[in-house]
Structure 1
């Protein structure tokens, strides 16, 4: 997948999570963003924001999640002495359940696959062409 194809796929995911209804809407990324922001505002009026703690597995996931929060004008933070992969945010629960977390999981999956492909290709071309996993041996202490 090229970088252009990746960006197009990520935009399609955004439109999907915004609730685009017509073909014309699906072509308008700005409209999709506004629909999601409107959904967040509506959720904020109906229910109180609560503090969520997200513990992400790696720097890539954390960067993606923080960017997604900032896209929706949410303020990510963490407390002193929390792990660097912890992200805190105050947000209405329905927005997390219906929009934020599902969109993050889908975007994260696409980016992870893309980064895995690039890593494998670079290693195969520049380090060694045999990219098979390590052999599995019976342990001496199990025998």
Structure 2
């Protein structure tokens, strides 16, 4: 199984976990799982106050994943005029963010970051130089010229 296939399977399992899927059969029924999460969001929107939340996502990969996850659940992420590209705004019930969206994002993002790090290390090691370690830390600064 390729690294990408492993990542895709891991992402499906994480999503199934947050959607409440308990069996392999439920994971296959991804539409049903998504429907459960969307129903939960609708319930929270009816019960809890929708608030405007601001998220700062450091890198483009995390931001793109977060945007896709929001859109998957029917949310409409946006950015206010003159806000940084790293900022994502969202109108959503706090409980949905705390119980579903943010924990799922953290799990998915952890898997994605690990995959991207592994691929980057492998490509650099195979195509540029085999030593992909960080720079050596020295105690004293070198004397200036």
Rounded to whole Å, the distance in 2 between the matches of 1:12 and 1:129 is 33
TM-score, reference length from structure 1: 0.93
RMSD: 1.4
1:1-143 aligned at under 5 Å gives the runs: 2-140=3-141
Rounded to whole Å, the distance in 2 between the matches of 1:79 and 1:132 is 40
Could you give the per-residue CA deviations for residues 12-63 of structure 1, whole angstroms, max 9, x where no partner exists?
Answer: 1111001124443233211111111011011011012100000111111100
Rounded to whole Å, the distance in 1 between the matches of 2:63 and 2:141 is 40
- For structure 2, the residue ranges without an aligned partner over 5 or more in a row are none
Aligned residues: 141
Does the C-alpha gap of structure 1 residues 138 and 22 become closer, same or farther in structure 2, counting only changes over 3 Å? closer
SS in 2 for 1:91: strand
Does the C-alpha gap of structure 1 residues 121 and 140 become closer, same or farther in structure 2, counting only changes over 3 Å? closer
Find runs of 4+ consecutive structure 1 residues off by over 4 angstroms. none
- For structure 1, the residue ranges without an aligned partner over 5 or more in a row are none
SS in 1 for 2:81: coil
Deviation at 1:100, TM superposition (A): 0.2
